[in-house]
A = this chain, B = another copy of it.
Amino acid sequence: MTRAAEQAILDAHFMARALELARKGHYTTHPNPRVGCVIVRDGQIVGEGFHERAGEPHAEVHALRAAGELARGATAYVTLEPCSHHGRTPPCADALVTAGVARVVAAMRDPNPQVAGRGLQRLSDAGIATESGVLEVEARQLNQGFLKRMEHGLPFVRVKLAMSLDGRTAMESGESQWITGPAARSAVQRLRAQAAVVLTGADTVLADGARLTVRADELGLDAEQTALAMSRPPLRVLIDGRLRVPLDAPFFKAGPALVATCMAVEEQYANGPECLIVPGDDGQVDLHQLLIELANRGVNEVLVEAGPRLAGAFAQLGLVDEFVIFIAGKFLGSSARPLLDWPLAYMKDAPELKITEIRAVGDDWRVTATPVVSASV
């Protein structure tokens, strides 16, 4: 094996560890990206760190502190290009230079226009060897929301659905409780916790008394991760074009929320939750505009938990990045409610999806699927 091939294997090995560290920030870093860092000297890890939350030190700073003087001449592995700008903390590129590291390996460039290659350039200018693109696919996966926002000015939208094996979400009457089991509900809790926003519609809140909160005892995480998740609950956003949900609904009693509507806010909402007026042409809330607003507020990931109508509207508008569908082993029958309200007449109009994963979750199954954008769009 050549020296270069050996180095590539070692680089991947240490980057995998840096990614593992980055995942510890799964529930807390937003609006910042999840980042991990490992400092390696003579083949030994001498410092590790990850970014925990915005305003606190970046991964590199934690790792450099842990390494101390051992950082001099070492290699730093970082899952995202070190920042070069003064944000709420000083630039990490400068910290790496000051610490005297000899080499910096990044999993990917930072798409943030304030960085975008300038971090690596800064290092390079200081005589540090730099490299990028090690385990890049995994690194991008880790920060889908941050990347979507930086690259498209929109949050990553994940639509969670729960259906029977015959594709139904509720009986015709609306009866729908407990389609899936406790393991699936716990998985949904974690999806909520990792999102910056959990979004729903008035139908769901009115019909089910839904609160869409994160509950510590249902997360199924260890104490450390539970504490992190509970320290940074998602903002709950209600789409209620005609302000049908009363302020004494369980949803509003469960904590802060944002209401997206198309009406001028009426008096009874004056002392209530914050309202965002985003009217669309069709008398409905403009979902695209709402997502832009949320991205402008730093929202990386949105979890949509809504009925067939609102979920169908997001899907029809092409605003969905990922569907997470929990499938319960039962038939609800042909008169039950559909997965998405989305009438289509011809096969040629049927949207294609790529099923990326199917996994058992307790007695239920979880399907992850991403829309396939056709070449003609």
Query: Which residues of A line the B interface, CB within 8 A?
Result: 163-168, 171-173, 175-178, 308, 312, 315, 323, 325, 327, 329-336, 338-347, 349-355, 358, 360, 363-365, 367, 369, 372
If A165-B367, A355-B327, A367-B165 touch, whether A171 touches B335 (CB-CB below 8 Å) is no
**In whole Å, how far is A78's beta carbon from the nearest beta carbon of chain B?**
34
If A340-B333, A369-B165 touch, whether A171 touches B353 (CB-CB below 8 Å) is no
Task: Please measure, in the bound complex, the distance between the C-alpha atom of A171 and the C-alpha atom of B178, giving whole angstroms.
Answer: 29
Q: List 12 A-B contacts (CB under 8 A).
A: A163-B166, A165-B367, A167-B168, A171-B346, A173-B345, A176-B347, A329-B353, A329-B354, A330-B351, A330-B352, A333-B350, A355-B364
Task: Please measure, in the bound complex, the distance between the C-alpha atom of A344 and the C-alpha atom of B166, giving whole angstroms.
Answer: 12
**Cross-interface CB contact of A343 among B335, B343, B349, cutoff 8 Å:** B335
Q: Are B341 and A345 in contact (CB under 8 A)?
A: no
**In whole Å, how far is A176's beta carbon from the nearest beta carbon of chain B?**
8
If A167-B168, A325-B165, A365-B355 touch, whether A342 touches B331 (CB-CB below 8 Å) is yes
Nearest residue (CB) in B for A333 is: B344
Please state the number of chain copies in the assembly: 2
Nearest residue (CB) in B for A166 is: B339
Task: Please measure, in the bound complex, the distance between the C-alpha atom of A287 and the C-alpha atom of B277, giving whole angstroms.
Answer: 59
Task: Please measure, in the bound complex, the distance between the C-alpha atom of A175 and the C-alpha atom of B166, giving whole angstroms.
Answer: 19
Q: Are B333 and A343 in contact (CB under 8 A)?
A: yes
Task: Please measure, in the bound complex, the distance between the C-alpha atom of A163 and the C-alpha atom of B367, giving whole angstroms.
Answer: 14
If A341-B334, A344-B336 touch, whether A358 touches B358 (CB-CB below 8 Å) is yes
Task: Please measure, in the bound complex, the distance between the C-alpha atom of A224 and the C-alpha atom of B308, giving whole angstroms.
Answer: 50
Task: Please measure, in the bound complex, the distance between the C-alpha atom of A166 and the C-alpha atom of B364, giving whole angstroms.
Answer: 16
Most buried by B among A173, A177, A369: A369
**In whole Å, how far is A361's beta carbon from the nearest beta carbon of chain B?**
11
Q: Are A369 and B329 in contact (CB under 8 A)?
A: yes
Q: Are A347 and B175 in contact (CB under 8 A)?
A: yes
**Cross-interface CB contact of A308 among B165, B334, B352, cutoff 8 Å:** B334
Task: Please measure, in the bound complex, the distance between the C-alpha atom of A353 and the C-alpha atom of B349, giving whole angstroms.
Answer: 32
| 18 more CB-based (< 8 A) A-B contacts, given A165-B355, A331-B350, A334-B338 | A163-B167, A165-B323, A165-B367, A171-B345, A171-B346, A171-B347, A173-B345, A173-B346, A175-B346, A327-B355, A329-B352, A331-B351, A332-B344, A333-B340, A335-B345, A336-B344, A355-B360, A358-B358
**In whole Å, how far is A281's beta carbon from the nearest beta carbon of chain B?**
23
**In whole Å, how far is A165's beta carbon from the nearest beta carbon of chain B?**
6
Most buried by B among A177, A333, A346, A364: A333
